A and B are shown apart, each in its own frame.
Chain A
Amino acid sequence: MAAFRKNTGFSGPLYTDTTLEVHRALGFKKSIGSLFGFKTVAETLKATGAGILPKGIQGAPTQQGGALVAGPGDSLLYIYRSREAGDHPPVEEMLDAVREDVRGDDDAGGPE
């Protein structure tokens, strides 16, 4: 995780799903085919061109990820399940979900 922080400059909290139980429970895709889709090849070329080289995969390469926006409490505002490597949730969609007004919240207002 330290290498990830160094490479990306990310400063938020990081966690690992060591048993992949969460990935399975969320229905994230796991298949060898998801490594070689057209989008994967395109994204790999794009990333390589930008100087982002794969530095060694830790964990199951066939496991895909995704993203969700939740809370406060058990309210799910957004979920995205990646179909193949390089398939990332659109950032604007996620930001819209993060900014969405919390219903019934007394101090709900604009984005922070």
Chain B
Amino acid sequence: MVNDKELLKSIGNLSVTAEDGKDIELSALWESRRTALVFIRHFG
């Protein structure tokens, strides 16, 4: 497990899928602004 300081760098190039079906790299989400990412288990 990488330590927290290196964590963002290590996950930055992973992608998630937006509602419109497009993939986006995680680093794009926090690149230009403070961002809170909440991981919920399910949408139901």
B31 lies within 8 A of A72 (CB): yes
| Contact residues, A50-77 vs B (CB, 8 A) | 54-59, 61, 63-77
Q: List 9 A-B contacts (CB under 8 A).
A: A1-B43, A14-B18, A15-B18, A54-B44, A59-B41, A70-B34, A73-B30, A73-B31, A94-B36
CB contact under 8 A between A15 and B35, given known A22-B16, A72-B30, A76-B5: no
Give the size range of A's interface with the partner: 35 or more
A27 lies within 8 A of B36 (CB): no
- Smallest CB gap from A53: residue in B: B44
CB contact under 8 A between A67 and B38, given known A72-B31, A72-B33, A74-B12: yes
Tell whether A102 is near chain B: CB-to-CB under 8 Å. yes
Tell whether A17 is near chain B: CB-to-CB under 8 Å. yes
Contacts of A14 in B (CB 8 A): 18-19, 43
A79 lies within 8 A of B42 (CB): no
